[in-house]
Structure 1
Amino acid sequence: MSGKWVYMALAAFTGVLLSFELHLIPILISSLGMIRVIHRESFKLLTLYITCMLFFYFVSERVKTANVSQYESPAKIQAVALTFKEYPQIDGNRLKAVAITPDKEKFMLLYKIPSENQKNDLMHNLRSGLTCIMDGQLVRPEANRNEHAFNYELYLKRMDIHWIFEPDSITATDCHLNKASPAGVLQNMRASGIQTIENKFPEKLASYAAALIFGERSLISEEADRSYKQLGVVHLLAISGLHVGIIAGSAFFLCIRSGMTRESVFWTLFIFLPGYAVLSGGNPPVIRAVIMAILLLSSKKWRLPLSTLDIFSLSFILFLIFDPLLIYHIGFQLSYAVTFALTLSSGYFFRKNEQALWQMINISVVSMLSSLPVLSYHFYEFSLISIAANLLFVPFYTLILLPAVFILFAISFTGSPIFNMAAAVVDRVVQLSEKIASAAGSLPFSVILTGKPSTLGMIFIVSGILAFFVLKEKRIHPLKCALPLIFILICHSAIQKYSAYGEVVFIDVGQGDSILIKLPYNQGIYMIDTGGQLSFPVAEWQERRKPFKVGRDTLIPFLKSKGISRIDKLILTHSDADHIGAADELIGELEIGEILISPNSWIKPIMADVVNKAFKEKIAVKEVKAGYGWENKSGSFHFIYPFDDEYEGNDDSLVLYASFGRIDWLFTGDLEKGGEEEVLSRYSRLDIDVLKVGHHGSRGSSSEPFIQMIKPEYAIISAGKSNRYGHPHAEVLEILEEENIRIFRTDEHGAIHYRFTSKGGTFKTVLPYDSERNP
């Protein structure tokens, strides 16, 4: 089987895919795999290939069957004994951990800590392996409410977790420590090490040290994480296969230099490496590197006929035997995609006599290309300057920063005054590297936006990458090799940008408004409001490291998934946080043609901040009112309210009347009954097909005379699920239902889409639409 294990890995992969994802791609992969075996190999290997594929298919089917919960519906449960499977994560006033019941069912435990004293008590007492008696509520995990958004429900299900458990309280006196498992001991050691780093290292350096030593990335600042992602070197902020290789190599060298025999070194590493995988967080890239290192050591010790590709393939097979669902883990996908490409291309990409610089360039090129499909699918973009960035940052991290933080961590236990001086120097170096990363990441065209590729788009992108490697193997110039992929990416971008279909999306931003209008053939991209959150001052102990932000966590990923990097007009209807609170997150991140605001709405501080940031970014800001409008080949857009320049709040919301997609729209912001009466008095008739209901369906808006005058066929209500205001109010729903208006609600249906051409269009919702409830 020497040199043939790659076929078994491919068979395992296709078997898992055929079970979990029965569509074009797994069928295509399995077919190509069998054709390859039939054409190049023996009938015996074909039999093994099919047997392996069927084995993993049935293993995956069994995993699917077993992945169920004993609880059928949300319920209050009492006196349940939950054991912490891992060291609990405490961030601000939130505690999060995976906990296991006596029946071996896993819950995602989420607890809002009520006081600083209890937080300190929990941080001191909780640990992996601790069992606590708790009362609490089972809650269903939230499915994604926007297209292409992170699906938390599916994410948990793939970890065999079906419920979120919200305890009423957690008290250390109700807990006892079981006999600790080796993994639990190592997890607690990891948590203790991270805490030591937080307490002793300078703040900036501490975030890097925790990431590089223990794989804990939560301490990395939002700005640094964003900069490294734009550079395509964010993998350096976590423990990767490269780090494991350096650590294993260093350990081997030190053991040999200390006089240990090779036999002793082998068994030391055999025990140390799995332990370090747990200490570093147990992420798939680390586990892959550890498995490969152990297989490599074993093959040398026992002279097994295994090539590097065989070792890679065996590690892949072992991973899938352990958990087939790991194929959905982004770290798993990236690690194996890049390693597979580097392994296969090593023979013709990396010649022995080649200069070190060219070797590094080739490694960067292969890494960028092999990761491109995964990054495009999950993050909708990839870094174009990652090749140059890797040349700078990989040596810095592997040769300077990684050894430095390990040495500093060791010195920190000695109490030596050298630690503070050395840590201060390294901290300055880290700060400088962050500034360089930020400057490089902000360069034009540093990131290429791909949007979310379709299945066919993924096939073409992967084909373009394979064409590059095939042509490069034939010693063709790299630029010529890249032409097929460049052509495919240009076509993919053009198809997205100049699609004949337009779309209106009422984005689910919780309790707020945000509406995207994308016209066919790139004739205009407009956004009405951005949503936002009301922020309340909290005590320092309650502050979370990376609190949820509507712009960063909802709007920007959604727009990128659509391939949108520019908004022609950003319409901010009025100065409420739930309508414009996320505007400052979009400014600077996206290109914005102009911002339209209600007259004098900038007198409110929140709008003034947006206007000031727009001016700094040299974005035109216009005050507009009734009479202002524009037209293009796809439709016409006119503001019909307000009529004066005095700003008084909701009743001075910009109201947009638009005609496109063969229907007429009215977007009303937070217009209330007073404003509706002014509209009624000014316009004798408004024929509307779709009404964006004012003020989230509040009883203060949508008066019966107003609804009867405009007579919409559809009403869209943007409101947060279980919001504190009770929106939409029953009175408004009754008026709409009495007029036989079909109602769509973001709180019940998630994001609402209208896809159209010049001939018309159709509505769809992200969550299932209950047609019986909504006439």
Structure 2
Amino acid sequence: MWFYCSLFLLSGIMLHIDFTTGIVLLVIIGTSCIIKTKMKQTLLFGFIFVCIGYLNYPNIHLKPMSSFDINSKLSPYYNSIIHFTDKLKIDGDQVKAIGMINNQTYQIYYRIKNKQEKSQFIYNSPILKNCNIRYTFNNPLPNTNGLKFDYNTYLIQEDITGVINIRDSFLKTCSRRQLNLIETIQLYRESQIQRLKQLKIDNVDDIIAITLGETRYLSNERMEELKHIGIYHLYAVSGSHVAIISVFLFKLLLRFNIRYDHVESIVFCSLPVYAIMTGLSPSVLRAVSVVMTYILIKRIVKLDSIQILSITFIYFILYNPFMFFDIGFQLSYLISYFLLLSAPIIQSFTLIYRVISINIISQISSLIILIIHFNTFQWLGFLSNFIFIPLFELCLFPLLMCFLTIFSIFNDMPDLILCLVSKVLSFTIFLIEWFNRFNVPDLVVGNLNIMIYLCLFINLTIVSICILKRQIKTAFFLFVLTIICIVFPNQTDKVVLEFLDVGQGDSMYAFHMDTNEVVMIDTGGKVEVNQEKWQTKNQSISYTKSVLIPKLHEKGFNSIDYLIISHPHKDHMGELLEMAEQTTVKNLIINKGTWSNKELKLILNKIKENGTNILDSQQLKQIKVGNSLYKFYNQNSPDHKDKNETSILTEISVNKFKILSTGDATILNENKILKDILANYDILKVGHHGSLTSTSEEFLKKVNPKVCLISAGRHNRYGLPKKKTVNKLLNHGCKVYNTQHDGELEVLIDKGNLKYMTGLSKYNKKAYKK
């Protein structure tokens, strides 16, 4: 009964997200309930839980905005006592933490002033201390590019009131506070982490991640390696680790002739401690709650594992409705449901087929969640998990837990164990690096309708059933057919242009739905600031990771057919190398003669190694993509000291519409091509971010654009766009869009129509809907 109650609760939540999908799901669950249970009371409870799910759905209140250009004036300073939690990370010269002020939770940022202060933070951390701080409130922007992930929504889901920036040094004001039991264990966990960091052993950061669930010390390279081969979940302590710990404790204590009921009590009390020691992740909380609920309930009534899992699901959703949106929570419960429902059949299999079935079903059940949130699924993970799951769960994790236990008890470690751990861990890292040599393209699925996601889930459930029935051919056929249906949508005549908001830089995509090809002009990029080694971050967020790749994947593409770089300045090509590493760039179009210095040639050589074909615009002149034509101007420009003057101007002709992208071309360049370009363009990508060096009167008269798009960073130090330039555009009757105010500009070209939608309008549509 509890299993169906959890499903009815889920359908109530779905009614709030999408009413039609919720109704369909409710009909499916109700029909199954009638056929399976034939109990009217289950339907009655089901109706109650549908209402609870619908009414308990957490409303996320988003405020409509008139502009993304939030007032640059500094907010007033405040002074308060802050209670730091155990969530604190030091990366380069930045401190990121979670703290409490007046019983409200805040995300905290602080910029370390010097190398000495960084050492003080490391050796005298403010974790679980009270500190007197002077701070300002930070108003984080919503997602200005219309992407799925929105930082403001994330803060609400995590029950974080806001973001604050600490202005002045505060370590000297910190003092110990009286800790409760949970905080005491958290402090012990942190002390263990710092003691482990002092050990003279390779890959100690990996040990900390695998045993204590703390990944903040892992390098950016290691994180990318784990994600690339689909085993990042093995570094995050999960339900399988809880199962290993529970079984080990049970068997160990029973060996010492301790009574079974006493063993249960010891395990019952130990698991919450383990959950705190591993960071209270949703998957660990789920697993611990299942074991603890089982121990409690079995003394009252006999329930199977699926019913106990359902009870914990209902409890967590009712206790904290926002937990439903946590990706780890979703993955943990969905995979657990699939495996528990499959368990009676899997137990009859041979050992090899049992291992294969468990891995495949785990992968299939996670596919839908990964596609919904990330639009990708790693094929390489299918193979790598066959090797790494047994390696981690049967060898590495037990060994490292014994290592941690000995280290915690004796404050020291015998050389023999250190050597053994080092050897096994080195072999594991070798395997991880070896698997990363394989460049297997991920499955990429664009954003789909919620109803299609439901159909996909039903199809994958049928595939799992076929695998359990050993109908391998049928399962393979259905799986391949499902993938084909979601990856290869019907071609249309539409072309979608996305002028992205990448701060003080330029980048745009052209998605050609008629040929399923992608053309990109410039990648954007951040101007590098000279920093000392201690200031450099291990885990930095680039535009490639936060905007460019997510936008590509959400549109359903995994490669770029043509990438045009207007000129070699960081704000136009700073992300080029990372883009070539993160996705397939088939052709790179540049004016080769202007890429003359040693650094630029090194970048081109690295891009060649990734299999990219480098084309010289001086010889190319134009390219044709489906029914669209790209023509290049100013590509014969000699190599100027001012690289802006070497900018390639790109004219895009789609049906009867014409778009002109000018890079950072100067008035001199505009005058040179004035006689060659067409007249009366529909869209002008304004040159040089709206500076005074571009967009002359003569040029505007010839181009005569209907829409002008300026890409410029908010509160940039150059004061762009210049008011004089904006007024000039308005005087020529141009509708002006500015990424500072409007975020991205999406242009849908469909037959004889142009439709415009900005990041601001997408956000407000969501805000009013909420």
Shift of residue 65, structure 1, vs aligned partner: 8.7
Q: Which whole-Å CA distance do the structure 2 matches of 1:419 and 1:639 have between them?
A: 64
Letter in 1 for 2:32: R
Q: Which whole-Å CA distance do the structure 1 matches of 2:624 and 2:367 have between them?
A: 39
1:266-281 matches, within 5 Å, as 266-281=264-279
**Alignment partner of 1:672 is 2:670:** no
Partner of 1:107: 106
C-alpha distance 168-646 of structure 1, shift in aligned 2 (>3 A): closer
Most deviating of 453-462 and 223-232? 223-232
Alpha-carbon deviations, 1:528-556, whole Å to 9, x = none? 11111222232222222211222233212
Aligned residues: 751
- Structure 1 runs not aligned, ≥5 long: none
Q: Which whole-Å CA distance do the structure 2 matches of 1:172 and 1:127 have between them?
A: 7
Contact 1:140 1:162 in 2 (8 A): no
Q: Which whole-Å CA distance do the structure 1 matches of 2:124 and 2:625 have between them?
A: 65
1:609-688 matches, within 5 Å, as 609-625=602-618, 628-648=621-641, 649-680=643-674, 682-683=675-676, 686-688=679-681
1:270-669 matches, within 5 Å, as 270-300=268-298, 302=299, 304-348=301-345, 350-352=346-348, 354-412=349-407, 413-439=411-437, 442-445=438-441, 447-472=442-467, 475=469, 477-495=471-489, 498-522=491-515, 524-625=517-618, 628-648=621-641, 649-669=643-663
- Which SS does the other structure have where 1:546 is aligned? coil
**Alignment partner of 1:247 is 2:241:** no
- Which SS does the other structure have where 2:719 is aligned? coil
Partner of 2:712: 719
Q: Which whole-Å CA distance do the structure 2 matches of 1:495 and 1:506 have between them?
A: 24
Percent identity between matched residues is 24
**Alignment partner of 1:82 is 2:82:** yes
Shift of residue 758, structure 1, vs aligned partner: 2.7
Alpha-carbon deviations, 1:551-587, whole Å to 9, x = none? 2332122212222122221111111011111111122
Partner of 2:31: 35
Q: Which whole-Å CA distance do the structure 1 matches of 2:627 and 2:655 have between them?
A: 8
Alpha-carbon deviations, 1:653-674, whole Å to 9, x = none? 0011121143111111111122
- Which SS does the other structure have where 2:172 is aligned? helix
C-alpha distance 423-184 of structure 1, shift in aligned 2 (>3 A): same
**Alignment partner of 1:50 is 2:43:** no
**Alignment partner of 1:756 is 2:753:** no
Higher RCO structure, 1 or 2 (CA under 8 Å, sep 6+): 2
Q: Which whole-Å CA distance do the structure 1 matches of 2:330 and 2:90 have between them?
A: 28
1:13 to 10, 14, 18: 10
Shift of residue 415, structure 1, vs aligned partner: 4.9
Contact 1:149 1:554 in 2 (8 A): no
**Alignment partner of 1:736 is 2:729:** yes
- Which SS does the other structure have where 2:694 is aligned? coil
- Which SS does the other structure have where 2:488 is aligned? helix
Contact 1:530 1:583 in 2 (8 A): yes
Contact 2:60 2:156 in 1 (8 A): no
Letter in 2 for 1:246: I
Most deviating of 621-630 and 608-617? 621-630
Q: Which whole-Å CA distance do the structure 2 matches of 1:81 and 1:254 have between them?
A: 46
C-alpha distance 767-270 of structure 1, shift in aligned 2 (>3 A): same
Shift of residue 431, structure 1, vs aligned partner: 2.6
C-alpha distance 56-77 of structure 1, shift in aligned 2 (>3 A): farther
Q: Which whole-Å CA distance do the structure 2 matches of 1:562 and 1:64 have between them?
A: 26
Partner of 1:183: 182
- Provide the TM-score with structure 1 as the length reference: 0.92
Letter in 1 for 2:688: H
Shift of residue 684, structure 1, vs aligned partner: 7.7
Alpha-carbon deviations, 1:156-177, whole Å to 9, x = none? 0112223211121241333333
- Which SS does the other structure have where 2:161 is aligned? strand
Alpha-carbon deviations, 1:267-321, whole Å to 9, x = none? 2211110111111011111001101111222344x15211111111011111112
C-alpha distance 168-592 of structure 1, shift in aligned 2 (>3 A): closer
Contact 2:146 2:763 in 1 (8 A): no
- Provide the TM-score with structure 2 as the length reference: 0.92
Alpha-carbon deviations, 1:76-98, whole Å to 9, x = none? 25222221233422222111222
Q: Which whole-Å CA distance do the structure 2 matches of 1:224 and 1:188 have between them?
A: 26
Letter in 2 for 1:7: Y
Shift of residue 719, structure 1, vs aligned partner: 1.5
C-alpha distance 66-616 of structure 1, shift in aligned 2 (>3 A): closer
Letter in 2 for 1:369: I
Alpha-carbon deviations, 1:40-64, whole Å to 9, x = none? 4322221111122323433345x76
C-alpha distance 113-591 of structure 1, shift in aligned 2 (>3 A): same
- Which SS does the other structure have where 1:76 is aligned? coil
Contact 1:146 1:508 in 2 (8 A): yes
1:112-191 matches, within 5 Å, as 112-191=111-190
Q: Which whole-Å CA distance do the structure 2 matches of 1:397 and 1:319 have between them?
A: 28
Contact 2:146 2:762 in 1 (8 A): no
Q: Which whole-Å CA distance do the structure 2 matches of 1:523 and 1:54 have between them?
A: 44
Alpha-carbon deviations, 1:223-257, whole Å to 9, x = none? 33333333333211111111111111112222222
Contact 2:380 2:440 in 1 (8 A): no
C-alpha distance 64-494 of structure 1, shift in aligned 2 (>3 A): closer
Contact 1:141 1:162 in 2 (8 A): no
Letter in 1 for 2:317: L
Partner of 2:66: none
Letter in 2 for 1:656: T
- Which SS does the other structure have where 1:636 is aligned? strand
Contact 2:89 2:216 in 1 (8 A): no
Contact 1:342 1:363 in 2 (8 A): yes
Alpha-carbon deviations, 1:657-698, whole Å to 9, x = none? 121143111111111122122223x44853211111111111
Contact 1:626 1:641 in 2 (8 A): no
Partner of 2:768: none
Shift of residue 522, structure 1, vs aligned partner: 1.6
Shift of residue 22, structure 1, vs aligned partner: 4.2
Shift of residue 423, structure 1, vs aligned partner: 4.2
**Alignment partner of 1:766 is 2:759:** yes
- Structure 2 runs not aligned, ≥5 long: 64-69, 765-770
Q: Which whole-Å CA distance do the structure 2 matches of 1:556 and 1:65 have between them?
A: 28
C-alpha distance 588-164 of structure 1, shift in aligned 2 (>3 A): closer
- Which SS does the other structure have where 2:136 is aligned? strand
C-alpha distance 724-426 of structure 1, shift in aligned 2 (>3 A): farther
Partner of 1:199: 198
Shift of residue 124, structure 1, vs aligned partner: 3.5
